[in-house]
Amino acid sequence: MAAKRVPVAEILERLSHMYPDAKCALDHSSAFELLIATVLSAQCTDARVNIVTARIFPTHNRPEHFAALTPHDIGEMIRDCGLWQSKAKNIHQTCRILLDKHRGEVPATMEELIELPGVGRKTANVVLSNAFGVPAIAVDTHVLRVSNRLGLAEANTPEKTEEQLMRRIPRDLWSSAHHWIIHHGRQVCDARKPRCSECPLLAFCKFGKSAVSGSKPKEMAAAAKPREAKPTRQAKSGKPSGTGKKAGQDL
């Protein structure tokens, strides 16, 4: 678990002042569009995803639109997103399931979302938080890296990091904290070249203090590039857990 003396409240308060307008960076106008955009964002930048979705969402923004296509057709539409073949297959299967089991609507529970192909806890949490207003902490590469550097968590997997953050951060701040941490990871706490000496959180950050002092900071082995696991049966109760992950699923 994270160190008990980490000033969680102070860190969150400072982050809230640094990024008061932080929000989801994926362009969307519905829960379905957000679901598709988040699936596409695996190992792809949000900026690139927004370029692709701006091209396809005007004409393909409902499950029936994608279900009517072949995986190959979908792949041609999303080819510049990376891992396009597996993503296309997952999107096609997901849309068929939405039509067959959910009347064409995106489900609003973790249990139902993680049953969809290509959807793990990260994607489910993004959708729950941003589309349905459910408090959630989606752990992507930025959240994994920054939260562990700050000591908000001490874990080398997204599942354990999520669990620890949920314990330490008040529930009503989960969604906001998720966005604050992501923005900090993009703007200051870079994976390879963090700007520690300029960071307003330096006083709270053991990693940053080590970096500024000239010593080599210790970091969790998986912090640079996490792979979110597809939840096991136990995890479907809402508690993070998981095993391996296929290409094209939550990364």
Assigned token pair, 72: 């190959």
- Are the C-beta atoms of residues 113 and 42 closer than 8 Å to each other? no
- Which of 23, 46, 73, 122 is labelled catalytic? 122
Reported in sequence order, the residue ranges of 3-53 that DSSP labels E, i.e. its strands, are: none
122 catalytic residue (yes or no): yes
Write down the residue that tokens 């982050």 correspond to: 15
Question: What is the maximum alpha-carbon separation in the chain?
Answer: 58
Per-residue b or e along 110-140, where b marks 16 or more CB atoms closer than 10 Å to that residue's CB: bebbbbbbbbbbbbbbbbbbbbeebbbbbbb
* Helical H segments across 116-245, by residue range: 121-132, 141-150, 158-168, 174-187, 206-213
Tell me the angle at which helices 71-78 and 46-56 cross, rounded to the nearest 10 degrees.
120
Write down the residue that tokens 């939260």 correspond to: 147
CA distances for 136 relative to 37, 164, 165, angstroms? 18, 13, 10
140 catalytic residue (yes or no): yes
Helix (H) / strand (E) containing 169: none
- Which of 140, 160, 230, 250 is labelled catalytic? 140
Query: How many residues comprise the chain?
Result: 251
- Are the C-beta atoms of residues 222 and 140 closer than 8 Å to each other? no
Three-state secondary-structure class, residue 103: coil
Residues acting as catalytic residues: 122, 140
